Amino acid sequence: MTAEGKDMSGKVALITGAATGIGAQVARLLAARGIRVAVCDVNVEAGSALAQEIGGLFLPCDVTRLSSVTAAANKCIKALGVPDFVHLNAGIMTVPTGAPFLAIEDVSLEQYRRIVGVNLDGVYHGVKVLLPKMRKQGGAITITASIAGLGILPIDPMYAATKYALIGFGRAVAAANANTNMRINVICPGVVDTGIVPDAFKSPDIMAPETMAAEVVDLLHSGPNGEIRVRLTQRPAFAVLPTDLNA
């Protein structure tokens, strides 16, 4: 289930959380297919370097702020055109990498608001701003959730909660746009070797970001509206929920 070899040239893509990890690899794959990519991130140094590497456009973007997402979208449209593809990928865990995980009663209000702001508000902001701009010409929005949104993650209940929410949100928005030119779908990675993955979850066979990025590119290119796709280590990708949104 990959878009390798499929023609996507001449299109425009916008990616949030694009400076590193899965988002960066999606940006590289799309640029290699002739797509003009807007690299959106709070990490100015890494995002600028990636944009220069792929011939894209770096746009500073704090997904927790609607005004920042709006500004990035408007700058993308002015410089590159209305996006054909959007990957809403920015995400964090409750505590920084390397910090001990917390019992839910020890999660501060600030930490709670931060993870909800990035993981959930960030996707809401992206859809709110970009969906109406894209609807006339058509296109695809792929949301990064997680296998944690379909299972149990005792070490980080808030991360799991935001990812469960994204799956429901993605399905609902897809259903609301079933008769339009838009496709909205969700990718649920297993454990991928990115900066937010706890050391305890890492192993020699951990999934490379490039593997996950190929699934995202396929969803952007031809994934059906409403698909919830899972990609786990050493297993082919599969859809876990029906795509017939009128059923």
Torsion from C-alpha of 197, 43, 212, 85, nearest 10 degrees: 150
Residue in this structure with the two tokens 């590289």, named with its chain if needed: 28
Give the long-range contacts of residues 55-60, CB within 8 A, separation 24 or more.
Answer: 55/31, 56/27, 56/31
For 200-221, b/e burial (b = at least 16 CB within 10 A) is: eeeeeeebebebbbbbbbbbbb
Distances (CA, A) of 165 to 51, 168, 202: 31, 5, 25
- Assess whether 164 carries a catalytic annotation: no
Query: What is the CA 218 to chain-centroid distance, rounded?
Result: 13
Q: Which amino acid is at 175?
A: A
Distance, CA of 239 to CA of 230 (rounded, Å): 6
**Sheet with strand 182-189: strands edge to edge:** 57-60, 36-41, 12-16, 85-88, 139-144, 182-189, 228-231, 238-239
Kindly name the residue from 112, 124, 159, 164 that is annotated as catalytic: 159
Distance, CA of 181 to CA of 66 (rounded, Å): 24
Q: What does DSSP assign to residue 196?
A: T
Q: Which residues are part of the catalytic machinery?
A: 159
